[in-house]
């Protein structure tokens, strides 16, 4: 039987898909894509994710407020995320949440506050998390480490830090999200991570419509391109393409579908 793709992180609610969203998503099944997790990063993104999950059988969702949108986490938004994550079987995680110190639009203490509040919610509901972390390696790890002691699990989305830190996240029981960046010529860091970390600790993602792999770098991304990510991982680890798909598929199901469906 042919191995199937599980895309664990995308944003098909993005306006870049407005003109052909339905046509694109309906093409996934015949292109070997078994499941997709759409990730809400704003209140509107969370609402749109819920709608996508209702419309497409293969679509599941994660709901959260991204650090760049931290001020959106009002009581009403928090209650909406909590209710959907608790009662909607298609919502399988809390995220995309985390820390982003690349821009200084949102103060670090506000980001940390919003991050921890959503981590608390994930623990309360027994849901895994989808973590965004950019230029915030130390703070993200220290916070995650404290929560992992209480059983929190999840994925470090678009992992971009060192292989040493990757090994520490693996010890905490976290998966590493590997996407199009691994195919970039200058991505030696993430390629080293893929080389040194077991396939059992990776999941495939796109971050669509962003981060298209080579040979489509700079163009709109989608799950149709995820095969290039899997091929690159297979090459680095000297395993078959099918093995990359089957192992990462099972990893994702184990993490996200443990209490779902």
Bond into 88 cis (ω within 30): no
With pLDDT > 90 as the criterion, what percentage of the chain qualifies? 97
State the average pLDDT for the chain. Answer: 97
CA distances to 70, 188, 217, 224, 242 from 92, rounded to whole Å, are 21, 32, 30, 23, 25
Instruction: Give the mean model confidence (pLDDT) for residues 82-97.
Output: 98
Instruction: Give the mean model confidence (pLDDT) for residues 96-120.
Output: 97
What's the pLDDT score for residue 260? 53
pLDDT tens across 225-254, in order?
A: 999 999 999 999 999 999 999 999 999 999
Q: Which domains does the chain have, with CATH numbers?
A: 5-256 (3.20.20.140)
Please determine, for residue 205, whether its predicted confidence score (pLDDT) is greater than 70: yes
Instruction: Give the mean model confidence (pLDDT) for residues 130-157.
Output: 98
Please determine, for residue 261, whether its predicted confidence score (pLDDT) is greater than 70: no
What's the pLDDT score for residue 169? 98
Residues 6 or more apart in contact with residue 186 via CB below 8 angstroms = none
Assign 104 to helix, strand or coil.
Answer: coil
The pLDDT confidence band at residue 8, using thresholds 50, 70 and 90, is: very high
């Amino acid at each position: 039987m042919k191995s199937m793709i599980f895309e664990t992180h995308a944003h098909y609610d993005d306006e870049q898909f407005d003109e052909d969203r339905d046509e694109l998503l309906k093409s996934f099944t015949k292109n070997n894509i078994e499941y997709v997790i759409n990730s809400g990063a704003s209140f509107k993104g969370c609402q749109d994710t819920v709608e996508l999950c209702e419309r497409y059988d293969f679509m599941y969702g994660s709901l959260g407020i991204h650090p760049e949108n931290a001020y959106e986490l009002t009581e009403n938004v928090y209650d909406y995320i909590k209710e959907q994550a608790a009662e909607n079987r298609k919502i399988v995680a809390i995220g995309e949440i985390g820390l982003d110190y690349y821009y200084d639009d949102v103060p670090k203490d506000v980001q940390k506050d919003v991050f921890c509040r959503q981590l608390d919610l994930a623990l309360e509901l027994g849901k895994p998390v989808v973590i965004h972390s950019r230029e915030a390696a130390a703070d993200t790890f220290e916070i995650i480490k404290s929560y992992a002691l209480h059983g929190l699990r999840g994925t470090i989305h678009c992992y971009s830090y060192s292989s040493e830190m990757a090994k520490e996240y693996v010890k905490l029981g976290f998966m590493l999200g590997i996407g199009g960046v691994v195919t970039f010529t200058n991505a030696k860091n993430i390629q080293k991570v893929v080389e040194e970390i077991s396939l059992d600790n990776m999941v495939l993602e796109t971050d669509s419509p962003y981060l298209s792999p080579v040979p489509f770098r700079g163009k709109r991304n989608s799950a149709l391109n995820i095969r290039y990510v899997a091929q690159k991982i297979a090459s680095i680890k000297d395993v078959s393409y099918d093995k990359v798909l089957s192992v990462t598929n099972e990893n994702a199901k184990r993490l996200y579908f443990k209490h779902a469906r």
